Amino acid sequence: TQDTLILGIETSCDETAAAIIRNGTEIVSNVVSSQIESHKRFGGVVPEIASRHHVEEVTLVIQEALDQAKIDIEDVDAIAVTEGPGLVGALLIGVNAAKAIAFAHDIPLVGVHHIAGHIYANRLIQEMSFPLLSLVVSGGHTELVYMKEHGSFEVIGETRDDAAGEAYDKVARTLNLPYPGGPHIDRLAQKGQPKIKLPRAWLEEGSYDFSFSGLKSSVINTLHNAEQRGEIIDAEDLAASFQESVVDVLVTKTARAVKEYEVKQLLIAGGVAANKGLRQKLDEIFGEMDGIELIIPPLSLCTDNAAMIGAAGTVLYEKGKRADYGLNANPGLEL
């Protein structure tokens, strides 16, 4: 049988990325050009700057992915590109690059949902076994996704306001830490004690939804109130308390869903999966649990990349999904 080679392209936010994936499971090449340095001084991603970077980088990154894989574009079976969700101007660059190359070389085109990509990053580590549950935690998303088979996604819970990573970044900003703030809060949290009382939003009985804006506001209020009283709050303790609250809610709801849906695997996805406190707690709860396999990809596959888009795109391609040249960026695309 012949190998399937897919070119993945990702430009939904602040990474311009391209990758070559063999048979949906193997990374042949994986190139990521990050713009974090350009956005840092603004304290967050500036859409207009992101688009400009993508325009400058996208063809270079694609060529680099082909070069590293030592193949020509004609060797590729299909091009898989993130069509949404994300920043519309950023998505458009990847979608148009993919369409142009597909048209010029008559190569099939597949549109991929960014979150499907995050989930399929796990398949580059370990083959999937169904049914499975995925906890997706990134700067833009906090979702629990149930999968009964390849390419089938059921969102059983999602954030009603801030995403987990967004809450980290906003709290970090209040503490005058640089963007992206998640890793900085994580580092502080390792040194502090969770002794400041902060809320946990469990929402209605049985709900798998999340809410982090109340927690975020509570951290900001705690800081401001202390400031007004002339007191100094220990940043390490505050970070530890915030992190404990986030991790507690994420892991407790995930554990409940794992039991209710009787899944075989728990896949972790998205940039917040880098969090030490979250990893520790997941290991503690699921590491030794009978009948469930916990998979957490390495950091480079948790944050935005195109290998994950190629992996998800392979499954869609094999299922016969095709996009025509009318493919458009869809910032609000549903999973």
Judged by CB under 6 A, the residue of 263, 303, 314, 327 near ligand KG4 is 303
From the list 150-158, 162-170, 212-220, 290-298, the region that binds ligand KG4 by CB under 6 A is: 162-170
List binders of Zn ion among 129-148 (CB under 5 A): 138
Judged by CB under 6 A, the residue of 94, 140, 157, 310 near ligand KG4 is 140
List binders of ligand KG4 among 192-221 (CB under 6 A): none
Structure tokens at 105: 């070389």
List binders of ligand KG4 among 49-78 (CB under 6 A): none
- Could you tell me if 160 and 202 are in contact, meaning their C-beta atoms sit under 8 angstroms apart? no
CA-to-CA separations, 282 to 94, 126, 190, 246, 266, in angstroms, rounded: 34, 17, 16, 13, 10
When asked if residue 304 is in the footprint of Zn ion (CB under 5 A), the reply is yes
Helix pair 213-228, 235-261: axis angle to 10 deg: 160
Task: Give which of Zn ion, ligand KG4, none residue 162 binds (C-beta under 5 to 8 Å, depending on kind).
Answer: none
Annotated binding residues for substrate, written as ranges, equal 136-140, 169, 182, 186, 275
- CA distance linking residue 301 with residue 234, whole number of Å: 33
Task: Give which of Zn ion, ligand KG4, none residue 303 binds (C-beta under 5 to 8 Å, depending on kind).
Answer: ligand KG4
Judged by CB under 6 A, the residue of 274, 306, 311, 315 near ligand KG4 is 274
- Could you tell me if 110 and 313 are in contact, meaning their C-beta atoms sit under 8 angstroms apart? yes
From the list 88-96, 120-128, 177-185, 215-223, the region that binds ligand KG4 by CB under 6 A is: 177-185
Q: Considering the complex, what minimum distance in angstroms separates the CB of residue 290 from Zn ion?
A: 32
When asked if residue 165 is in the footprint of ligand KG4 (CB under 6 A), the reply is yes
Return the residue matching tokens 């798998």.
Answer: 208
Q: Are strands 109-113 and 78-84 parallel, antiparallel or unpaired?
A: parallel
Q: Which residues contact 89 (CB under 8 A, 6 or more apart)?
A: 47, 48, 50, 51
Burial class (CB in 10 A: 0-12, 13-18, 19+), 4: middle
Provide the binding-site residues for Zn ion, judged by CB under 5 A.
Answer: 138, 304
Provide the binding-site residues for ligand KG4, judged by CB under 6 A.
Answer: 13, 138-140, 165, 168-169, 180-183, 186, 270-272, 274-275, 303-304
